[in-house]
Amino acid sequence: MSALPKRENVRRLLELVPDEDLATVEKMLQGVVREEARPQRREWSAVLAAFDSAPEDDEGELSDELVARLAESRRAAAEGRVFTDEEVRERLGL
């Protein structure tokens, strides 16, 4: 696939981003296009390649503690005890 259809797809996706998320997307894109970010991008490609080549059962069994924490997270979400994207950004200073 050439770069042009990919660029058009990115533009279409950008139009779907809610207004309240535009600042975050802008920061992400700035990080991708900055010169100093390019070496990091190559490193990230290596990480993704490692994930792609890892066996599916690489993680093994979930611990009882993790299973309990996942269950609590699901209960919290079902009860509405969650943070909005905006609240998370505020807490992280984004």
Q: Mind listing the pLDDT tens digit for each residue in 45-64?
A: 777 788 778 777 656 788 89
pTM across the whole model: 0.35
Polymer length of the chain: 94
The span from the CA of 49 to the CA of 70, in Å, is 28
What is residue 40's predicted lDDT score, i.e. its pLDDT?
57
Locate tokens 């979400």: which residue?
77
